[in-house]
A and B are shown apart, each in its own frame.
Chain A
Amino acid sequence: MTSTTAYVLYLLFALGAAGLYLLLPRTGPSKTAIGATLGVSALMGVFVVLGTHSSAERNDVIYFYLFAAMAILAATRVITHPKPVYSAIYFVAVVIAVAALLVLQEAEFLAVALVIIYAGAILVTYLFVIMLAQQPGSPIYDRRTREPFLAVVVGFVLMAMIAGRAGELPARAAEKAILADGGRNPATTASLLTGNTMAIGAAVTTKYVVALELSGILLLISMVGAIALSRKRLTSDVIRTPLRTLGQIGKEVEPF
């Protein structure tokens, strides 16, 4: 990637930053239409730059653009929507688009795990908490943001730094070179011969077995922590009230 391309990318990021700044929730007159136009045109521009620097002739390129656009637009909606429930729903769209990108990257197991864990488990937890804690109407803290200009500048400078360096990556090694490698890299050979899921299973249970055990312990600790955090505190007079007689325990449960 030439330096001209990098500067074009920076310019497009600046355009996207301006669009996002206008899209963030605000109390004054809404400029959503202008922001959306700026943001979408910046995204299109980035895709055009990527397309003109096409080095691989693959027929799944269109899927990359489709799901990348879906992921980025849905992520923008996650952080700009004034209602948390809709943010959570748009996050499901982000997860599905990212899973599709993972399939394109030959990480099928990871894609399935992402959909099951994120869309299936984590998002349901989020929705439960939103339902439990959401206040009626649209409270002020959902309609105003804190330091939107500075945050947008920080975020897009970081993005430009990463993306500007991304063009300096060398071309990817050909797949045949790996096959000719003679199986010196067992993980790759296994991945090519048996499929992604078995290869990941082999890697996780051999090379990363300590990390696997540690993550099990971590999950246990977090479960204990979550229970300890969210338990209901009983006041002392509740504790001192005499218990019901044996036959009545559990028969009159007060609704929440």
Chain B
Amino acid sequence: MPDTMGYVIVGAVLFALGLIGFLTRRNLIVIFLSTEVMFQGVVVNAAAFARFHHHLEGQAYALFLLVIAAVEAGLALGLVMLLYRRKDTLDADAWSQMRG
């Protein structure tokens, strides 16, 4: 098995699956779960390249990525609860009329 190639492909597949979920699903919670799937793809990629280059930068980046994921989850779920209280639905299309 070409070591890094296999991991890069798995990372790409996970990222693309998350992207598809993000674009197609209409439930706000599932949309944010899809972003977490994308994060997993990036983590696999970062670790694969850390090993490929024989240094720890990729792993350190992946560690900070975990911080960003935690921040994103906290804020996103707070937003989801706010939006759910406003319109009593989790449908993202309910907010398609939103204007800035």
Residues of A within 8 A of B (CB): 1, 20, 24, 46, 50-51, 53-56, 58, 61, 64, 68, 71-72, 75-76, 78-79, 84, 87-88, 91, 94-95, 98, 101-102, 105-107, 109-110, 113-114, 117-118, 121-122, 125-126, 128-130, 132-135, 139-142, 144-148, 150-152, 154-156, 158-159, 162-163, 166-167, 169, 172-173, 175, 178, 185, 187-188, 191, 196, 199-200, 203-204, 207-208, 211, 215, 218-219, 221-223, 225-227, 229-230
Contacts and interface: CB of A to CB of B under 8 A. Distances in A.
Contact of B16 (A139, A140, A158, A169): A158
Interface in B1-56: 1-21, 23-27, 29-30, 32-34, 36-37, 40, 43-44, 47-48, 50-52, 54-56
Interface of B: 1-21, 23-27, 29-30, 32-34, 36-37, 40, 43-44, 47-48, 50-52, 54-57, 59-60, 62-64, 66-71, 73-75, 77-82, 84, 89-93
Contact of A151 (B23, B44, B71): B23
Contacts of B37: 75, 78-79, 91, 94
A79 B78 contact: no
A79 B17 contact: yes
Contact of A219 (B8, B48, B70): B70
A29 to B, nearest CB: 19
A168 B4 CA distance: 11
B64 A225 contact: no
A37 B36 CA distance: 26
A95 B40 contact: yes
A117 B21 contact: no
A139 B89 contact: yes
Contact of B8 (A129, A166, A221): A166
B60 A61 contact: no
A61 B91 contact: no
A53 B81 contact: no
B67 A79 contact: no
A110 B19 CA distance: 23
A14 B93 CA distance: 29
B82 A114 contact: no
10 contacts: A50-B5, A53-B5, A101-B44, A113-B66, A142-B26, A146-B24, A151-B20, A187-B57, A204-B60, A222-B74
Contact of A79 (B21, B29, B68, B90): B21
A107 B54 contact: no
B29 A129 contact: yes
Contacts of B90: 133-135, 139, 141
Nearest to B20: A155
A166 B24 contact: no
B2 A122 contact: no
